[in-house]
């Protein structure tokens, strides 16, 4: 009766003590090294496999550490931006602070916002300028931030310079309320904001900006 490779593998798996009882076989087994055309013993091959696994784990750990450092840096920038908004006691200057602190803190080339439904004393602010009928419709349709190419959006004209890619974030009092504004980030680089990028951080930006700007709204 001839044993197949599967039969042999199954037998060894079912009898892990086989090589303990036949230790002399370990020294005679020769395998081809993946790092060169030379034969190595089974023990050497196992050591090489462990080294390869260790290198893979080291690379993964390095990636995790880099990601952690990046996330920490982003969190620090978000905290500094939120602090700037909290320190701004002048409501008239607040919309400009939102935009300027965002650009400087996150190295953004372009940013702008519009809010509607504001109190009469804030109606003359540039950020409260009238918008087209499509803007509130667009903002209300954004259940999550938009990232992607500038497809001729009206909001892109608020940036004052051509933008190849955009991120647009609706401003809301909460997740169930209609939008009262729109935050727009732009870049002349097409790859800065893409459709496949994550939007969770942009959503957090929108929540902070919304909370800060609520003081401008007229009571319902």
Q: Under a CB-based contact definition with an 8 Å cutoff, are residues 22 and 11 in contact? A: no
Mean pLDDT of 162-182: 94
- Give me the pLDDT at residue 60, please: 82
The span from the first CA to the last CA of the chain, in angstroms, equals 89
Q: Which of 218, 216, 219 is nearest to 93 (CA)?
A: 216
pLDDT value at position 23?
62
Closest C-alpha among 140, 146, 143, 144 to residue 184: 146
pLDDT recorded at residue 47: 74
The answer to whether residues 218 and 94 touch, using CB atoms and an 8 Å cutoff, is no
For range 75-86, the mean pLDDT: 92
* Span(s) in the chain for CATH 3.30.450.40: 88-216
b/e sequence 4-38, b meaning 16+ C-beta within 10 Å: eeeeeeeeeeeeeeeeeeeeeeeeeeeeeeeeeee
44-48, 83-87, 199-203 — which is least confidently predicted?
44-48
Residue 118: pLDDT above 60? yes
**Rounded to whole angstroms, how far apart are CA atoms 85 and 94?**
7
State the CATH architecture for 88-216: 2-Layer Sandwich (3.30)
- pLDDT at res. 22: 66
For 109-126, what is the mean pLDDT?
Answer: 96
Instruction: Report whether pLDDT(70) > 80.
Output: no
Q: Which residue has the higher pLDDT, 97 or 219?
A: 97
Q: What is the pLDDT of residues 135-162, one digit of tens each?
A: 999 999 999 999 999 988 999 999 988 9
The pLDDT of residue 124 is above 70: yes
């Amino acid at each position: 009766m001839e044993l197949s490779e599967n039969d042999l593998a199954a037998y060894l798996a079912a009898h892990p003590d086989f090589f303990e009882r036949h230790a002399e076989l370990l020294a005679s087994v020769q395998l081809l090294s993946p790092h060169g055309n030379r034969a190595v013993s089974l023990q050497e091959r196992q050591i090489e496999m462990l080294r390869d696994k260790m290198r893979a784990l080291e690379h993964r750990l390095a990636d995790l550490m880099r990601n952690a450092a990046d996330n920490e840096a982003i969190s620090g920038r978000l905290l500094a931006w939120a602090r700037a908004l909290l320190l701004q006691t002048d409501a008239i200057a607040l919309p400009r602070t939102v935009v300027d602190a965002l650009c400087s803190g996150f190295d953004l080339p372009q940013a702008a916002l519009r809010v509607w439904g504001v109190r009469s004393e804030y109606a003359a602010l540039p950020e409260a300028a009238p918008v087209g009928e499509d803007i509130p419709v667009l903002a209300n349709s954004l259940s999550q931030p938009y990232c992607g190419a500038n497809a001729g959006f009206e909001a892109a004209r608020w940036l004052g310079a051509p933008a190849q890619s955009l991120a647009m974030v609706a401003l809301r009092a909460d997740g169930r309320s209609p939008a009262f504004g729109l935050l727009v980030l732009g870049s002349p680089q097409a790859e800065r904001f893409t459709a496949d990028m994550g939007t969770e951080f942009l959503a957090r930006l929108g929540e902070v900006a919304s909370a800060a700007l609520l003081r401008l709204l007229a009571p319902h």
